[in-house]
Structure 1
């Protein structure tokens, strides 16, 4: 702090009281040139410098030009306003998005006009609010999906009640029809096998309840990523299958890679805990990887095995065959 400068009386007590509260930064700047006259320890730590390396300098000397210009403009607005002025700042700081509530107050002290500023970090609170909003939106979407699912389940013999997907038997019928159609019309289709990767310790601790929530999430994701002409089913506790009508390997890979990413970022809430899951995916196609139903299934199984061997959370394509079956 420059020699001879001091804040006294009620203002000094106010700044000191706020300085002791967790998360508050305090600074005093010269109104004329914007140079720091005083900073508290919390603000100095934020800058990553000792206080004596900040005092006497301006934001232009301490920060990136764009951020320094932003703060100087806000300071000038507060000085012109005359009374206490509150506002918010959002900016990236050392790779993190930070949000602040800011109070600026222009006063006369030590024979000069100064600008006192109080900063409160709102980042953690805003993150919690964002997470809560996302969780509420997901619950609303889940409720809508459940309503739609109940409407779709007129025939329980064709649908798995836990996921809303086709049963294995119904899926086999759809695949045989797709193979006949593709053979007659000389077109392609893709078969996809998906398997849930080994559960995390948190998921394993919740047991069957976590498994049920993950199955529900998989059902929603598969229904949301397939067209009316496609088909998807739950094979067993860990495996799912998708039939993509009129789709080749390249398009199937792109769509399943997008689905894999959605699975990896999906929030599954249970007892206030967020559970995650990933999937391994194998993709084969008719007639590029095989020209019979058994051959396509075998190629898809092999591709899925390769995805698991790569450590999971991966999409692997079956090899394209040249020549005969």
Structure 2
């Protein structure tokens, strides 16, 4: 039987009631960092550093007190300063003796750790790749100067809003925004100052809209805002707040304080108009009316008293 135990890759040992080794096969002695002959008659305190010996003795005592098979993980010192991770099975015998089996799981645990680290790295890389893809998708629909959406995104979002309104009978608003006298401003202060103004308008539009809204740049000094689920009156109130913020905003350039204003035209769907093209014309007409009034104001589109019924 002892000969068979010597062939088993797991470490097998027997201790007396004082914790002295009565038997240890070659695998157990190897885990203890010595030979079977050096193990016999000695305790863990004589073979191992104190921290390991104390932990093993406590585990032995716990198994003896329970008088049943106890499974747990032990840690043994490894040559070179590492730690061996072993699965331990302890079975109390007669007269206070203890039989134990150690199965070395060190390489398995290390491989598992490497696998976890590799999976973590893969997950991190996938997350970074997705963030990069999202950034590239975002760049494709963003105006690089102002950070708001571009004309292509505006056209797509307007189509979706019209379809959603027709399907779910909900309203939305379209706002045209134009920087007042932009060409004269650039002629007086230069293109750099003009770009700073456009950036300021873009920032104010972004900070005053929700994630479901779409502030867009349509041309050099022309912007548009799609306000989802918002009617004409609410859109007018919100855009009036933006207009005031633009009027109060100061653009600093080379120590000079520059100011600007904007004009806005607000239309809503379906209350102002019944189709996409009419909505665009209504917003354009409201913007022109704001400019005729001297600019720096927000004008709502006229709501007709009678409209043809929309098909359900």
With the length of structure 2 as denominator, give the TM-score of the two structures: 0.54
Deviation at 1:153, TM superposition (A): 4.8
Distance 1:206 1:170 in 2: 31
Equivalent of 1:185 in 156, 168, 190? 168
1:214 partnered with 2:180: no
1:262 partnered with 2:261: no
Q: Matched residue of 1:217: which SS?
A: helix
Larger Rg: 2
Deviation at 1:192, TM superposition (A): 0.1
Q: Matched residue of 1:221: which SS?
A: helix
Aligned to 2:293: 310
Alignment of 1:12-27 (within 5 A): none
Output the aligned Cα RMSD.
Answer: 1.9
Alignment of 1:265-304 (within 5 A): 265-304=248-287
Number of equivalenced pairs: 176
Alignment of 1:1-325 (within 5 A): 153-155=135-137, 156-199=139-182, 204-325=187-308
Distance 2:305 2:182 in 1: 38
Deviation at 1:245, TM superposition (A): 0.3
1:268–1:224 distance in 2 versus 1, CA, 3 Å: same
Distance 2:153 2:216 in 1: 8
- For structure 2, the 5+ residue unaligned runs are 1-131
- For structure 1, the 5+ residue unaligned runs are 1-149
Deviation at 1:204, TM superposition (A): 3.3
Distance 1:324 1:280 in 2: 28
Deviation at 1:265, TM superposition (A): 0.5
Distance 2:233 2:135 in 1: 33
CA contact (8 A) 1:203 1:275 kept: no
Q: Name whichever of 179-188 and 191-200 sits farther off.
A: 191-200
Distance 2:247 2:195 in 1: 17
CA contact (8 A) 2:143 2:150 kept: yes
